[in-house]
Every structure is written in structure tokens, then in C-alpha cells.
Amino acid sequence: MSSVPSVNLQDFVSGDAKRKEKFIKEIGSAFEDIGFVALSGHFLSDELVEDLYKEIKGFFNLPQEVKDGYEIEGIGGQRGYTSFGKEHAKGKKEGDLKEFWHFGQYVEDNPALEEEYPENVTVNELSTFNEVGKETYKMLEKTAKYVLRALALHLNLEETYFDDYIKNGNSILRPIHYPPIETEPKNAVRAAAHGDINLITLLMGAHGKGLQVKNHADEWVDAIAQPDELMINVGDMLSRLTNNKLKSTIHQVVNPPKELWGTSRYSVPFFMHPVGDMSLNCLENCIDDENPKLYEDTTAGEFLHERLIELGLIKK
């Protein structure tokens, strides 16, 4: 496959059985073949997208000492600010050429999870930053819920199989700033080749060259979305759950050509995580003689902890 397929979520929510079936087939095939789709018809309005970019550019343009005040020790970067070069891909020593912010879950009716998750961090310098971030989080979470419903049907599960696992899930909205490159990077790229940890990732801002995905022929393919599309990919948790029937695809963000080094790049992934006690044991209907069980039993919380250690975000 030499390009990322496009799908329209409105087919799934249209109330038309044929359009719904078409969407399930298209997204299921894409996630089995390359692990990525470009999705239109989501729940983000143009106005909300515009507001979000205005807010995140406003934050990343704040003086460094102000931003540093929002870097919270001891929580593995789960909320607030993470400064330039702190995170690296699994197996890499060099830090990625990026800084980012984390919005986390807005827990409803679950005091135990409210206690477990770190609190969201309020930016005092920008009056609507947190409000716009929360609205974006909610709309991406809603979009992800319907994508997972389609995937449940593709996997011959009950349509709402994932609903209870993702309600109050440990999902993260991560506005990223890749600053201008000032000197030749030593073995570092904006985001080194990696697979995502979570169930699915919804990415805003893949509108120019930079994001690349690796297809089954081991070739890097440019993944470029239209302005009204989100790029959506399978994460490692969903890959484990489905015994690799749905593929978690390796992807990277490469450095731009030298003439564009002086430019910033912004992207905003939403990492859809379930609650920590969700079982990631391979689904029985994804195991057979031709596809023996590939992964040990684990939970989403155990798997996340293990991966955060590998990424250098928390200590053992």
C-alpha cells in the first residue's frame, strides 16, 4: 500500500445500513493493511480547530521560564508541560526535537479514578487555553468512541464493546511544538520511529510533509491528511488485544529540508487510552491455528507503566 486510505465517519453515523457497513469494511481493511486512515466527518468544528491552534501557539510562544513553571515533577509528564528533548523513542538515546503539553481526562462520577489521575494544569497567562483544550479533548474522545464501535463490529464483537473501557479512560491530548532547527541535529529527528502505546491515536495537523508510516514492504510512506481530516492509527494496546489482526504501524516525524529548518511545526495527537484495569489478553476470536497467540496476558495499566519506563518518562 503506497498511500493512507481516506474514510468518512458520517457514513458510520448516518443511520443508513449500507453506508455504515461500507465504513466498517473500509476502516477494518485499512487497519489490517497499513494501520492508518485519514478520517473526515469527525466532531471537531473548523472554529474549534482554529481556536486550539491559536491557544497552543500562544502557550509555546511564552518565555521559557514561564513554560518551565508548568513542568510537574514526579508524574512522568502525564499533565502540563514537557520541555524540549526530554522524550525519546523506545531504544533511542537521543531526545526528540519537540516540546509538548498534556491535557488529561475530565473524570465524571468516579471518585477513585479522580484520585488516581493527576489533575489538569491551569495556564494562568492564557484565559481560554484550558477551556479550548477541554472542548477539543471531548470532541476527539467522542470521535474515537465511534471509530472503536466500527472496529468492534469489524472484529465480530458487540458494537459497544469498548464503551465502558474508554469512559473515564486515561486518554491524553498532546499539543506538540517542533521548534525551528538551528543546527545540524546529531542523530535526532522531530519524532523518531515508534509505535503508539494506546488503543488508537487521532492526529490533528498532519497537513504537510513530515509524518511517515512504514508499510508492510518496509517502505516509508508520506502520511498527509487534508485540512478537514484527522489521521488515525492503531496503537500497541489494540494490536495486542486483536493478536496483531489490526496492525500498530511504526511511524516517524522526519526533519524538513534544510531550507525549511527555520519554521515551526505543530501537531496535536489524541491518545485514546482505556481504564487501567482493561484486559489486553488476546481476543479468542483472533486466535486460531494459522494465527497462534502472540502476546502474554496483561492489563492496559501494566502495559502503559512498562512503556513509560522504556520512553524515559518514569523511572523503574
- One-letter identity of residue 222: D
Q: Quick one: pLDDT at residue 310?
A: 80
Beta-carbon contacts of residue 15 (< 8 Å; ≥ 6 apart): none
**Going by DSSP bridges, is the β-strand pair 6-8/80-82 parallel, antiparallel, or unpaired?**
unpaired
Cell digits of residue 170: 486515561
Which one-letter DSSP state was computed for residue 121? P
Q: Quick one: pLDDT at residue 247?
A: 86
Which one-letter DSSP state was computed for residue 276? T
Q: Quick one: pLDDT at residue 2?
A: 54
Q: Quick one: pLDDT at residue 255?
A: 66
| pLDDT of the chain, 316 residues: tens digit per residue | 457 899 999 999 999 999 999 999 999 999 998 888 999 999 999 999 999 999 999 999 999 999 999 999 888 788 999 988 655 445 545 556 789 999 999 999 999 999 999 999 999 999 999 999 999 999 999 999 999 999 999 999 999 999 999 999 999 999 999 887 766 666 555 566 788 899 999 998 766 667 888 877 888 888 888 889 999 999 999 999 999 999 888 888 776 667 666 778 888 999 999 999 999 999 999 999 999 999 999 999 999 988 888 877 677 6
Q: What CA–CA distance (Å, rounded) separates 194 from 21? A: 32
* Domains of the chain in sequence order: 6-310 (2.60.120.330)
Beta-carbon contacts of residue 140 (< 8 Å; ≥ 6 apart): 42, 43, 44, 173, 202, 230, 270
Instruction: Decide if 232 contacts 200 (C-beta within 8 A).
Output: yes
Q: What CA–CA distance (Å, rounded) separates 275 from 249? A: 23
**CA 221 to each of CA 1, 3, 27, 226, 260: distance values in angstroms, whole numbers, following the listed order:** 9, 6, 18, 16, 20
Q: Which of 26, 48, 311, 20 is nearest to 194 (CA)?
A: 311
Cell digits of residue 57: 501557539
SS3 248: coil
Q: What CA–CA distance (Å, rounded) separates 283 from 279? A: 10
Q: Quick one: pLDDT at residue 184?
A: 64
Cα 57 → chain centroid: 20
Q: What CA–CA distance (Å, rounded) separates 303 from 300? A: 5
Q: Quick one: pLDDT at residue 260?
A: 67
